Structure 1
């Protein structure tokens, strides 16, 4: 028997799950709906994801991870820490704004899923805070920044910029003055960090 044209993979399942969530929302979407969208039995989906919760967590993690590569490249890159910090914060804000604006139904769905999957969100936050701490530590090492504790400073930067990445502020991200507000906050934070 020849192999199927489109073998069932976790990636295909996750793509179909996003479509189903977009269509039905997290309260009504089922594994059966995902299986139906893929043209397979729900047992086939369960062979890749043991439970509905595991599937939802994987979808949430995939959605959150989409910006990691760009942010990681900035954090681990070369050049002045001040420039990298500004670019990292801008890239995070742009990614969040893009997610909220390009697909508002899916954005709302994922916010609900993120609340359910606090472990996934905690891992995501830990990764982002480590990236920020990497930038701060390199700035301290190069004499650009004055900070005693890179991790604590990273957390303070995260908290201070919440308006530009926390989904609870998504309704403000299209305001005409938001880019000027973002630039002002970044400049204030960078002034405070300079050695």
Structure 2
């Protein structure tokens, strides 16, 4: 590990390295301190317990997934296009992590199981991003939804098989992308149902 001031970010990077090498069952704060060349007391000054350090590692990993999605959600392209792109990015991000570093992915899944609050916060954040896209689409006349918040959560739940790690074994299915597109088609139809009739009625009222 390179020299420099001991920061939370350096500690989290070292913790990730230790978790990759030893797994969550065997990794300790002492191992993290050894990688950094400091005492374990120095690590505890930033993270008061092993559980706090593991929660921070988990939150950091989840943020790496959520942050790029925030950029998509805040975009100005048509809402249906943003929703599709957002979902594809989430799916691809999870799939890349599972295929490129399966051991670390499995480690994080074990940590996620332990970090109920971090996961709940992450899921709520994702659902809020989707709700924001839906609300924007409704305001622009591109989507129809009485309750964008409920719609956002429903979209996340309906596509769970494609991004929830509990279904990782199914991601190797060669038909997985076609399955997603089929689900997306149904969701899009539901979110745009009635828009053409409303547009025709509005145009007729103006005539």
TM-score, length-scaled by structure 2: 0.90
Match for residue 78 of structure 1? 76
Q: CA deviation at 1:67?
A: 2.0
Q: CA deviation at 1:18?
A: 0.7
Quote the Cα distance in structure 2 between the aligned partners of 1:165 and 1:5: 38
Quote the Cα distance in structure 2 between the aligned partners of 1:126 and 1:168: 18
Match for residue 42 of structure 1? 40
Q: CA deviation at 1:5?
A: 3.6
Q: CA deviation at 1:14?
A: 0.5
Matches within 5 A, 1:148-187: 148-187=146-185
Deviations 1:154-195 (A, max 9, x none): 111111000111101111212211111111111111111113
Match for residue 122 of structure 1? 120
Match for residue 54 of structure 1? 52
Q: CA deviation at 1:86?
A: 0.3
Q: 1:5 to 1:38 in 2, by over 3 A?
A: closer
Structure 2 stretches lacking a partner, 5+ long: 196-207
Match for residue 16 of structure 1? 14
Quote the Cα distance in structure 1 between the aligned partners of 2:3 and 2:80: 49
Runs of 4+ in 1 over 6 A off after TM superposition: none
Q: CA deviation at 1:68?
A: 2.1
Give the superposed CA RMSD.
1.2
Q: CA deviation at 1:25?
A: 0.9
Between 4-13 and 52-61, report the one with greater CA deviation.
4-13
Q: Highest relative contact order (Cα 8 Å, sep 6+), 1 or 2?
A: 1
**Which structure has the bigger radius of gyration?**
2
TM-score, length-scaled by structure 1: 0.95
Quote the Cα distance in structure 1 between the aligned partners of 2:93 and 2:142: 27
Quote the Cα distance in structure 2 between the aligned partners of 1:122 and 1:109: 18
Aligned length: 192
Quote the Cα distance in structure 1 between the aligned partners of 2:188 and 2:68: 21
